[in-house]
Structure 1
Amino acid sequence: MTLTAGTKLGRYEIRSQLGEGGMGEVYLAQDTKLDRRVALKVLPAEVAANHDRMRRFMQEAKAASALNHPNIITIHEIEQIDSVNFIATEFIDGETLRQRLRKAPVKLGEMLDVAAQIASALSAAHAAGIVHRDVKPENIMLRRDGIVKVLDFGLAKLTERLPPDSVDTEAATEALVQTEPGVVMGTVAYMSPEQARGMAVDARTDIFSLGIVLYEMVAGCLPFAGSTSSEVLAAILSEKDPQPLARYSREVPAELERLVMKTLAKDRDERYQTAKDLLIDLKGLKQKLVVDAAIERSAPPQLAGGGEAKPTDGRVVSTAPGAAAQTEVAGAPTNSSAEYIISEIKRHKRSLTVALAVLLLAAVGFGYWFSARRASNATQIESIAVLPFVNASGNSDVEYLSDGLTESLITSLSQLPKLSVRGRSSVFRYKGKDAPAQQVGKELNVQAILNGRVVQRGNDLTLHIELVDVDTETALWSGDYNRSMTNLVSLPSEIARDVSQKLRVRLSSADEQKVAKNFTANTEAYQLYLKGRFYWNKRTTEGYKKAIEHFEQAIDKDPSYALAYAGLETAIAC
């Protein structure tokens, strides 16, 4: 039944039709009593006629209406007037994520912002015992002011059954119905494997669906595609993983690749177990990108001239690989070494013993060189995780130091070429845990881990570092760093240089400058920044307030402190 402009349903006056779909028709209306615009969703007659489905729907809609979250659409009321069943919700002035995706590619920063707001909404709903079951771009609205709204919580049960061989090629979002185990319900292209099998679902099904949305925002296509619903379901149920995101964009951070693929794990036990955990990783990645951008903006200019740098005396020194001069000794024999040695033995038989000794030494030397080279190649470390340093001071007030030094070292090590360093959001799940090195290595997919213990006594600080091979669980290297609290700024850079030497990472001049980069020379500003990060990572309203205070104090101490400005910007946005 189509309603015309001017039609009244109780206190609501229809203004225009906004759209229609499996849930029925959606209208813009004016609440004449409260003088506000609302959206009215008129339920299909066949749905309203099914008393059992309406009863279940009413139960869920009541639960959903109790949700009070800035990223969840507000349900004002559910009403029946003149045999018309409708839902009154807040009117959102904006566009759906589907409409946004059709316009242009989504930038990484925008994608992470949208993803974090969706995850926040799901986390709140799951905490209230509500599973959405139909997370898709059509159910996500983007307001003009940047606020994201998730729509239709608890409404998926009312959507229409999809014919077995049809898929909406525009949006791939046609839905199936029912909620009893053994019957498929949801949106085909965004279903979890357990949904597709008709199994009972929990909050993890929403995480999988959100993972598909994230993948689509980055890649511009679905991870599990097909020309019919059967082909789409087969792709979702198969053991084959989707194509890496890096195939579609070279700028995709490795941490984002890991995050999205974890949401898309076919086995729900291997996914993020809660939307809150996913939210923490999304915020951590966003913060890392902000810090990386600050680093990039403050990095020194690259060496010009294809690897040439000019010393102060005006000479040009080449720093390019292979630039060493090669010389040839005049008059060197052209015969092979073996022929030369044999001829000399014939001429000087008394020198036989000396010649044999030379050959023996050469053979031993070559064998040593070959073995050392094999050992070097066998232990080449290309991926590492810095686990949260342990605060062994017995004083919780300096917890910010152990966490902050961990983060600072992650940032410094991330500047090393050809070394993959896991981000904060990945490693801090191990804080306070004594997990075996092999387990950590397998879960984070790294070859080595770096452990640390921080002890502060008065104005003195000691940091013990240990680099561990995860396969053998043996220490590759360990070191102790003793500093006064007034000399901490350069400590992470110094450790990063030492680690690069132990890992045999060859640094160019530009790399060395990046690793040695200190964003402030002011120790007080640095400690205030670490405190700001410590409170920001608590992810609470009070924590954000304290973070802002400490970032502002750090800027007061050093007005050119780029990282403090980046931290302040992020904290204010929360």
Structure 2
Amino acid sequence: MAAAIPPRFEKSEAVPSCRPGGIPPEFSSSCLGRRAMWRKECRIGNYALERVIGYGELGIVYRARSRKSGETVAVKVLRPHLGGNAGAEELFLRGPIIASQIRHEHVVGVREMGTAGGRLYYVMEFVGGRPLQHALHQNGMPMAARLRLLADVARGVHHLHGRGVVHNDLKPSNILMTADGVPKITDFESATLRAPQGHRDARMGEGFLCGTPPYMAPESLRGAKAAFDPRRDVYALGVIAYRMVTGVLPYVAPDLIALMRMKEMEPPPMALWNVQVEARLESTIRRALMPVPAERWGSAMEFAKAVEGYLKSAKLEDASAFTSAHSIKKHRLLSLARLRQTIDRAACL
């Protein structure tokens, strides 16, 4: 059954066909970039759509401008072919309905929801930066800065848990960075809620998978039936942390079955990818990645405080550059090349 739209989400005018031939705006990377080609301004409700900034299986995200206040916002619109699909509409609305009840500096805020021309949409704050995954590819980001980001994200996740929400799909692409470097968690379509006693969220049923496999806890991959358990998000934080520190995922497998088997074991030593990792930091991250939930950090806040404690004791300097797996691999290849040159010279003597 499709989720009902709360009364405050009023219907608005239909979405216009913005280009000659009736081509909808989602097929253009810039909704208003070529004004000569548009018959009228692309808009949905009280928002003028400017350009596409992201997309997923269910919807397309636009940078938009409020026609009332002039404020820049992000608007996610349900894909046209999914209109009238009760299951897709319920899933599309699930995220914003959950997020609209949460107010935190590290969570993307949802402003409103509505319908236009039979298509659902919702309005979010415009973050303006890029996903965390882009920052992970920047070798110049200092280790201290990476760990501070990690602790901030963990604090945001802890706030979600306190509000009875397990995200279930934490990953770098679902963490947006503001222009000032503040991380914000988004995309709650896979979230599960703490159900009243005697009830169970349908998404916690046996065999129901929520999330992205490389970041999912072993019990989640198995489709195990479980009560509300924030430690699944703690595991995802551990995977994100491992990747932030080493530049690679802790587990890479050709298929889901192989990945499930690998996750039953502890991950490879982080020093294989980053020789700068200290034992205390590695033990902090590895505890979040323990296959057995009871052996992980008890909460995201515990994990955040452990990371912050390491930052204080290690006294890392912001100027200290991060060495990624790519740069280490390059260094190893260079060392092997020099070794071969030495052997060749010795053979010529």
TM (norm. structure 2) is 0.72
Cα separation, 1, equivalents of 2:139 and 2:254: 24
1:123 has 2:158 as partner: yes
Deviation at 1:25, TM superposition (A): 1.2
Paired AA for residue 109 in structure 1: A
Where 2:115 maps in the other structure, the secondary structure is: strand
Q: Which residues of 2 match residues 38-187 of structure 1 at below 5 A?
A: 38-45=73-80, 48-51=83-86, 54-55=89-90, 58=93, 61-104=96-139, 106-152=141-187, 154-156=188-190, 180-187=205-212
Q: Which residues of 2 match residues 435-450 of structure 1 at below 5 A?
A: none
Where 2:123 maps in the other structure, the secondary structure is: strand
Q: Give 1:228's match in structure 2, choosing from 255, 259, 275.
A: 255
Cα separation, 1, equivalents of 2:267 and 2:83: 40
Where 1:103 maps in the other structure, the secondary structure is: coil
Structure having the higher Rg = 1
Q: Give 1:27's match in structure 2, choosing from 48, 62, 77.
A: 62
Q: Judging changes above 3 Å, is the alpha-carbon distance between structure 1 residues 95 and 35 closer, same or farther for their aligned structure 2 residues?
A: same
Paired AA for residue 180 in structure 1: G
Gap regions ≥5 residues in structure 1: 159-176, 294-574
Q: Judging changes above 3 Å, is the alpha-carbon distance between structure 1 residues 75 and 208 closer, same or farther for their aligned structure 2 residues?
A: same
**Residue in structure 2 matched with residue 8 of structure 1 by the alignment:** 43
Cα separation, 1, equivalents of 2:126 and 2:54: 13
Q: Judging changes above 3 Å, is the alpha-carbon distance between structure 1 residues 157 and 82 closer, same or farther for their aligned structure 2 residues?
A: farther
Gap regions ≥5 residues in structure 2: 1-23, 33-40, 193-201, 318-349
Cα separation, 2, equivalents of 1:103 and 1:23: 30
CA-based RMSD: 2.5
Where 1:119 maps in the other structure, the secondary structure is: helix
Q: Give 1:242's match in structure 2, choosing from 267, 272, 277.
A: 267
1:252 has 2:287 as partner: no
Q: Judging changes above 3 Å, is the alpha-carbon distance between structure 1 residues 33 and 230 closer, same or farther for their aligned structure 2 residues?
A: farther
1:538-558 C-alpha deviation (Å, 9 max, x unpaired): xxxxxxxxxxxxxxxxxxxxx
Identity %: 27
Q: Judging changes above 3 Å, is the alpha-carbon distance between structure 1 residues 86 and 233 closer, same or farther for their aligned structure 2 residues?
A: farther
Cα separation, 2, equivalents of 1:108 and 1:94: 20
Paired AA for residue 142 in structure 1: M
1:475-523 C-alpha deviation (Å, 9 max, x unpaired): xxxxxxxxxxxxxxxxxxxxxxxxxxxxxxxxxxxxxxxxxxxxxxxxx
TM (norm. structure 1) is 0.45
Paired AA for residue 121 in structure 2: F
Q: Give 1:277's match in structure 2, choosing from 280, 302, 314.
A: 302
Paired AA for residue 183 in structure 1: F
Deviation at 1:185, TM superposition (A): 1.8
Cα separation, 2, equivalents of 1:274 and 1:281: 11
Residues 23, 41 of structure 1: 8 Å contact kept: no
Deviation at 1:2, TM superposition (A): 4.0
1:171-212 C-alpha deviation (Å, 9 max, x unpaired): xxxxxx965321222101111112101123521111101110
1:218 has 2:245 as partner: yes
Where 1:93 maps in the other structure, the secondary structure is: coil
Q: Judging changes above 3 Å, is the alpha-carbon distance between structure 1 residues 33 and 180 closer, same or farther for their aligned structure 2 residues?
A: farther
Deviation at 1:105, TM superposition (A): 6.0
Paired AA for residue 156 in structure 1: S
The higher-RCO structure (CA 8 Å, 6+ apart) is 2
1:353-410 C-alpha deviation (Å, 9 max, x unpaired): xxxxxxxxxxxxxxxxxxxxxxxxxxxxxxxxxxxxxxxxxxxxxxxxxxxxxxxxxx
Going by fraction, where is helix more abundant, 1 or 2? 1
Q: Judging changes above 3 Å, is the alpha-carbon distance between structure 1 residues 20 and 198 closer, same or farther for their aligned structure 2 residues?
A: same
Q: Which residues of 2 match residues 394-433 of structure 1 at below 5 A?
A: none
Paired AA for residue 16 in structure 1: R
Residues 217, 232 of structure 2: 8 Å contact kept: yes
Aligned residues: 272
Residues 222, 260 of structure 2: 8 Å contact kept: no
Residues 61, 75 of structure 2: 8 Å contact kept: yes
**Residue in structure 1 matched with residue 230 of structure 2 by the alignment:** 203
Where 2:120 maps in the other structure, the secondary structure is: strand
Cα separation, 1, equivalents of 2:222 and 2:80: 29
Cα separation, 2, equivalents of 1:67 and 1:209: 20
Where 1:29 maps in the other structure, the secondary structure is: strand
